Structure formats: C-alpha cells, structure tokens
Amino acid sequence: QSVLTQPPSVSGAPGQRVTISCTGSSSNIGAGCDVYWYQQLPGTAPKLLIFGNSHRPSGVPDRFSGSKSGTSASLAISGLQAEDEADYYCQSYDRSMSGPGVFGGGTKLTVL
Amino acid sequence: QVQLVQSGAEVKKPGSSVKVSCKASGGTFGSYAISWVRQAPGQGLEWMGRIIPSVGITNYAQKFQGRVTITADKSTSAAYMELNSLTSEDTAVYYCARTYRERSSSGVYSYYYMDVWGKGTTVTVSS
C-alpha cells in the first residue's frame, strides 16, 4: 500500500491529452511538501520529469506539465507520442521536506 | 555531467547481507544527498533512506530501520547501502539517486528532487 495513491493505468491515443492523479494527505502533499514526477521506461532507471510541483528540468518537453492543489497533484501529458508509453511515479515527503520520501504506486501509460 | 555507477548484480542466501555501492563518475557528490530506492519485480518504487555524504547524516524509512545501513566516503564520492537479514522479499533492483537538499539557517535539512539515478543493482535472494 503506497502512501501516495495513483491510478494503476491510463491510456490515450497519439496526439491526445491524458492526466495522472496523485492523491496524498495532510501529512505529505497537504503539508506543503513539493511533488515530483518520474518517468520510467521499461528496463531503465527512473528519470526526473517534474520538480517543485510544476517545473520541468532542462530537456523535458513542454508537453509534460504538473500541478498541485490541496492534498493532490496531477501530471498532464499532451500531444501523446508512442515514446511516452512508460510507468509514471509521483513522489513527495512525509510530514515535512525533512521527512522520509514517499512514492505513489505508479501508473502505467499505454499509448493506443 | 555526473553519473552514478553502481556495483554489479548479487545473488544472496536468505539470512545473509548485501552491500551495494554507488560511485560518482565525472564529478563528486558535492553538497547533494544520496537516496536509496528499491523496486521489487513488477512493483513500484520504495524509498529506503538517504545520506548527506559531506556531513554523514542519515535517515531511514521506518520499514528498514535496524536492518539497513547507509554510509558514504566523501573522499572517493562513493555511497554504500547494506541490507541485513535478507529474505526473498528483498529481491529487487536497488537504485541510488542524487538528491538536491538545502539547509536552513536553523540547521534543518530539506530534501527535494532526485535528479541523477544509477542504473540499478539487481539483488536476488534465493536458497
């Protein structure tokens, strides 16, 4: 049972927009802790996709965007491409930014 | 650009220990922390703990308290994760990840994103 809750799977056709939710609680996301998103392609290590709730590292396409509200966060992917098919994880910290790291259970994105 | 190079795959017997290394290549750890995250087969990511190599401060997930030890040698920019009393449930890929952190004027550390990851070390526990 993950501390952060994500849907197990989402899907969309090429060119469409999908969103992945990440629900936490008052002890993590709701406590003001930042949310991060990682993309994991099959057989590879996770890659940082979004930091500080909504910021993209250099090299991440602007098709990826993040937001946070209350005890939840979302990752939106627009203009879906076949290469976006991967597992996506949200991550935050528990109780404070000094607390233990917590992950969502991951969401498998299938591009139809 | 710093890369994190992890040690090779391990096969261990139940009840034994494993020590995985993570070395910075092309740079040093600097002021970053190093986090350890594991992923069991077909499962999600699980945070295990972290260390600030420059000062040796560690934090562990409650689940692993007493069974995991994270150390670092700042002179060689290497970090280590040792897990004891292994069972089959510890079979997983273990990742190290560079973690941005800040220290407030009151001495409190805050941790942020994991921006550089090692390729992972597969640990198989089997009799």
Cβ atoms of A50 and A36 within 8 Å: the answer is yes
Give the 3-state secondary structure of residue B62.
Answer: helix
Contact A52 B117 (CB under 8 A): no
User: Which of B37, B49, B108 lies at the smallest CB-CB distance from A98?
Assistant: B108
Checking DSSP bridges between strand A107-111 and strand A9-12, what pairing results, if any?
A: parallel
% of chain B beyond a pLDDT of 90: 85
pLDDT at B121 over 80: yes
42-101 in chain B: CB under 8 A from chain A: 44-47, 49-50, 59-62, 95, 97
Contact A45 B114 (CB under 8 A): no
Task: Give pLDDT tens digits for A39-85.
Answer: 999 999 999 999 999 999 999 999 999 999 999 999 999 999 999 99
Task: Give pLDDT tens digits for A23-41.
Answer: 999 999 999 999 999 999 9
Task: Give pLDDT tens digits for B76-96.
Answer: 999 999 999 999 999 999 999
Chain B environment of A105 (Cβ under 8 Å): 44
Which whole-number Å values give the CA distances from B30 to A68, A98, B20, B26, in the listed order? 30, 19, 20, 12
Task: Give pLDDT tens digits for B6-33.
Answer: 999 999 999 999 999 999 999 989 889 9
